[in-house]
Structure formats: structure tokens, C-alpha cells
Chains A and B, each alone.
Chain A
Amino acid sequence: QVQLVQSGAEVKKPGASVKVSCKVSGYTLTELSMHWVRQAPGKGLEWMGGFDPEDGETIYAQKFQGRVTMTEDTSTDTAYMELSSLRSEDTAVYYCATPIGGGAFDIWGQGTMVTVSS
């Protein structure tokens, strides 16, 4: 059974970077296509990017291009999402999620709260 366990809450100052981790168990990371979704307080879900297995590349939402980097460490089955140049609007819960069955996100991490405040 696949589980995604994310790193703990972070508090960052504007302009800093944050790196959130997502540890996979029950599968190896190479068997999965990891995506990242965020949710600002009281707001909806926003896809940030993820791995496209058809192209073998990571695709980023245009809104985050140049500020986000998604990486993987296959030796530890851990995925990472790093967001730089943080601003207050980046305060949100960040989720990793993966489609096991194909397409829709059937497995989600528990979420990581990132607070950006001076």
C-alpha cells in the first residue's frame, strides 16, 4: 500500500526558499509520477507541477516557472519541491500527490504548511 509522508511545517521570511520533502513507502519512486498541489488558507487547490511519464520530463505550471524546482532522490524514494523567492501569497499547505491507477491523484501526502511572514 502506497504512502506519502511529508516533512513538517515551515516558517520562512519573504525572499527565502523552502524545500518540502515527500517520502514514498510501499512503492519505489521510479514507479510513480509525483505531482505537487498547494492550497492557500480558505482557498482551492492549485496544481504546481509534476512528472509527465509520457515525455519523461517534469512540467511546471507557468505561474511558478523559474521559482519552483521538483527533484527526486531515488536512493531514498523521496521527492522534493523547492520554492524560491517566497512572498506572503505563498503561505499555503503544500501536498505531494500521485496517480497510481492512472491519471487522477489517488494517493496524497498529509500536507506541509508553509508560512511566509516577516
Chain B
Amino acid sequence: DIQMTQSPSTLSASVGDRVTITCRASQSISSWLAWYQQKPGKAPKLLIYKASSLESGVPSRFSGSGSGTEFTLTISSLQPDDFATYYCQQYNSYPITFGQGTRLEIK
């Protein structure tokens, strides 16, 4: 199975900050990586697919990069609505696996 490791597990930041979350795969997944945002009591929401493609309707302050085993999600200027938990997911091969999550909290 491909292990997905996110860092950090928790991130404290302020409105307006630029933040970056990292996801590492235990083996190459090409660009078959997605990022999701989840708020308490809600289903995950797709933000980024194929490592760097922005899902329709997602604000442009979200961006993704990387390929192979190293990936990043960047939020260019944090907004109040962005405080949530973020997950990476590989869909290069089965079983599909998720990172453990990064909780983004208000500083």
C-alpha cells in the first residue's frame, strides 16, 4: 500500500497568512494526488486534483504543486472560511489512501 504522510499535523495561522501543507507518498504516484478540505460535521470537499488542477468553484488562493512523491497545498492569503482540516489522497493505485490530515487553526 502507498503511505501518505502529511506535515504538519496541526498548523496555527492568522487571516492573511500564506500557508503551505506538505504531503509525501511512500512511492511515486506521478500526479495522481488530490487535496480535500473538511469542516466539522461535513463531507470532504475536493479542492485540487491531479496535483495542481483547481476544482471548479474553488477560490484561486488555493494552489497545488508537486509530482512523484512530494506535493504541496498552498493557501496564498488565509480567509476565515479556510480554517478546517485538509487531507491529501493518492489515486494512482489501489488501495486508495489518504494522509492523516492537517488541522489548520486560528492563531
Which residues in A have some Cβ–Cβ distance to B below 8 Å?
35, 44-47, 50, 52, 59, 61-62, 95, 97, 99, 101, 103-106, 108-111
**Cβ of B99 and Cβ of A101 under 8 Å apart?**
no
Which residues in B have some Cβ–Cβ distance to A below 8 Å?
32, 34, 36, 38, 43-46, 49-50, 55, 87, 89, 91, 94-101
Q: A103 CA to B98 CA in the complex, in Å?
A: 14
With a cutoff of 8 Å between Cβ atoms, the chain B residues found around residue A61 in the complex are 95
**Cβ of B43 and Cβ of A47 under 8 Å apart?**
no
Q: How many A-B residue contacts, CB cutoff 8 Å?
A: 56
Q: A47 CA to B55 CA in the complex, in Å?
A: 21
**Cβ of A95 and Cβ of B43 under 8 Å apart?**
yes
Q: Which of A62, A95, A104 contacts B50 (CB 8 A)?
A: A104
Shortest Cβ distance from residue A33 to the other chain B in the assembled complex, whole angstroms: 11
